[in-house]
Structure 1
Amino acid sequence: MKTIYQQRYQKLIDNLITARKQANLTQSEIAQRLGKPQSYIAKIEGKDRKLDVLEFIELCEVLQIEASVLIKKLEKIYH
């Protein structure tokens, strides 16, 4: 099974969405800060596009959240 369809990946994206909303940022605002079109964020949040590690870190930086915090949330769920 491709990782994009795995429950752990799905939860990671859900956590990114939650972090964006808690930061009171729109998809457009995040995309603008990354120099990407809004559709880039929409595809990630819609789980239509797979994030690589560096993209994940960049998103976390824009959201002002430590990447390790989101990863640790996954560890708590699956261990």
Structure 2
Amino acid sequence: MAYAASQGASIAAWYLVVPLNATKENPVAWFYTLTGDSDYPCGWMGLAQLNGLAAKYQNVTVGVDVHAFRAGMLADRSGLPTAP
């Protein structure tokens, strides 16, 4: 928030959008722990929501093909950043 304020911006809401669903193997509790004390709404938008939006707004061109991205991500992790 401090950076946004220093740039003259304010944050109305923040959503983490990822092509993965929250599951037992992919928990998102860390996200809500991280954003729990935010002054603005925060949410997780996963693959199911992205699929729903793609079905609802079929005339909108999406910059990233979620299915191709996910398939590539699962097949080849060499390009993904690693923790320091």
Query: TM-score with structure 2 length normalisation?
Result: 0.27
Query: TM-score with structure 1 length normalisation?
Result: 0.28
Give 1 or 2: higher strand fraction: 2
Give 1 or 2: higher helix fraction: 1
